[in-house]
């Protein structure tokens, strides 16, 4: 286990595991849960919701972000995040979710996910070092 996985992240993982029970994944059977700790102290969770068109599927991380903004508004900031799955699979957040997290997460926020040798964690800025941004002149 990564030594940076502290009690707070373990609690977030447990929240993510609980929400993964609600996953709607009839096409992949890959059941994912995400938990976000916000800077206001609230924890918000989300799970993956698949669609027969496949492309319309929403990942757990993005479901959690949408839930967080819906509940607390556009000023939310994510202080820590955990993603788990119920398939015992090593699985970091996908690229699309990293890009969407970039919108709301603090660069130093730890992000934890299941790796081959237990949970791994990295500061978000190392998980997505060069996020797309639009700086118009």
Which positions lie near ligand THU, rule CB under 6 A?
25, 28, 30, 32, 48, 50, 57, 59-61, 93-94, 97
Q: Which two tokens stand for residue 104?
A: 């709301």
CB of 50 to ligand THU, least distance (A): 5
Q: Which is nearer to ligand THU, 30 or 72 (CB)?
A: 30
19 versus 75: smaller Cβ distance to ligand THU: 19
**Spatial contact of 48 and 23, defined as CB atoms under 8 Å apart:** yes
Three-state SS at 9: helix
CA 72 – CA 56 distance, rounded (Å): 25
CB 24 within 8 A of CB 130: no
Cα–Cα separations (whole angstroms), residue 38 to 7, 50, 65, 72: 16, 26, 10, 10
CB of 42 to ligand THU, least distance (A): 21
Q: Give catalytic residues, as residue numbers.
A: 61
Which CB sits closer to ligand THU, 73 or 95? 95
Q: How far is the CB of 96 from ligand THU (least distance, A)?
A: 8
């Amino acid at each position: 286990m990564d030594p940076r996985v502290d009690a707070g992240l373990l609690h977030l993982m447990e929240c993510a595991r609980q929400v993964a029970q609600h996953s709607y994944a009839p096409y992949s059977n890959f059941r994912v849960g995400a938990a976000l700790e916000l800077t206001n102290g609230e924890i918000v969770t989300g799970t993956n919701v698949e669609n027969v068109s496949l492309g319309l599927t929403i990942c757990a991380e993005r479901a959690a972000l949408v839930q967080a903004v819906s509940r607390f508004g556009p000023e939310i900031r994510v202080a820590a995040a955990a993603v788990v799955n119920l398939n015992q699979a090593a699985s970091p957040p996908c690229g699309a979710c990293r890009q969407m997290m970039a919108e709301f997460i603090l660069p130093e926020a730890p992000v934890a996910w299941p790796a081959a040798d237990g949970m791994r964690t990295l500061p978000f800025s190392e998980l997505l070092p060069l996020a797309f941004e639009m700086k118009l002149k």
